[in-house]
């Protein structure tokens, strides 16, 4: 699964009630069009689909005063909140090697209590270690590792990714355990969306070099 549902649910949730264009602007503000598949079509599709599945509640609204077609506003339902939290926990704890999911869940991690996040990240480290073990066991032929030829580089890459990913996760755990950031139930939450009247300082900027998506 892509990060689009997590992102859209998270954006609507932070507003309380939001229309598609607002969500679209938030995701652009977060730079999500750079590191995920957050394009207009995907966003509107996700909104409609999740409304159909009862994760969002859609309010039909009269034409906006600012031009353009009439807009629909959405609210996250209880079921939607559950889904959001499940997606968030899942992508913090699992090692699926998808940078978009991890990036999105880092952005939302403060919506969970500190202790929960620590537990999930520890689970993540365990998952990575287990994955590493299964890879090295599985792809080491009986005749010794030299037999694989250049295919061994694939395993080498995977193991390197797993090791550095685990190392980074341990660093994050330490920082969080050391008191960094403000988590759910610890006071004023971090504000990560644009207010209705606020302009987006990151709109229409040039892409990063080397982005081949």
* Residues binding its own copies (CB under 8 A): 35, 90, 94-97, 99, 102-103, 106-107, 109-110, 127-128, 130-131, 134-135, 138, 149-151, 153-154, 156-158, 160-161, 164, 168, 172, 175, 180-182, 190, 192, 208-213
Which residues from 29-88 bind DNA, rule CB under 7 A? 37, 39-42, 44-46, 48-49, 63-72
Q: Which is nearer to DNA, 208 or 213 (CB)?
A: 213
Q: Which is nearer to DNA, 22 or 169 (CB)?
A: 22
**Cβ 88 vs Cβ 55: under 8 Å:** no
- Long-range contacts made by residues 101-107, C-beta under 8 angstroms, separation at least 24? 101/1, 101/2, 101/3, 101/6, 103/3, 103/35, 103/36, 104/3, 104/6, 104/7, 104/10, 104/32, 104/36, 105/6, 107/10, 107/30, 107/192
User: At its nearest, how many Å lie between its own copies and the CB of residue 51?
Assistant: 26
The entry of its own copies, DNA, none near residue 147 (CB within 5 to 8 angstroms by kind) is none
Q: Which residues pair with residue 73 across a beta bridge?
A: 19, 59
């Amino acid at each position: 699964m892509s990060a689009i549902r997590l992102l859209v649910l998270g954006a609507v949730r932070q507003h309380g009630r939001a229309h598609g264009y607002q969500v679209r602007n938030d995701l652009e503000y977060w730079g999500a069009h750079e590191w995920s598949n957050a394009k207009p079509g995907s966003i509107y599709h996700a909104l409609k689909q999740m409304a159909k599945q009862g994760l969002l509640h859609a309010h039909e609204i009269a034409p906006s005063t600012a031009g353009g077609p009439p807009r629909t506003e959405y609210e996250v339902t209880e079921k939607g909140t559950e889904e959001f939290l499940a997606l968030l926990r899942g992508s913090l704890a699992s090692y699926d090697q998808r940078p978009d999911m991890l990036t999105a869940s880092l952005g939302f991690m403060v919506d969970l209590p500190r202790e929960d996040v620590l537990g999930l990240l520890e689970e993540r480290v365990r998952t990575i270690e287990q994955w590493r073990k299964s890879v090295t066991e599985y792809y080491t032929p009986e005749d010794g590792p030299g037999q694989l030829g250049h295919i061994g580089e694939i395993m080498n890459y995977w193991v390197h990714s797993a090791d550095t990913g685990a190392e980074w996760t341990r660093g994050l755990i330490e920082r969080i355990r050391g008191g960094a950031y403000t988590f759910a139930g610890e006071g004023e939450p971090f504000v990560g969306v644009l207010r209705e009247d606020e302009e987006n300082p990151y709109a229409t900027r040039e892409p990063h070099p080397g982005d081949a998506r």
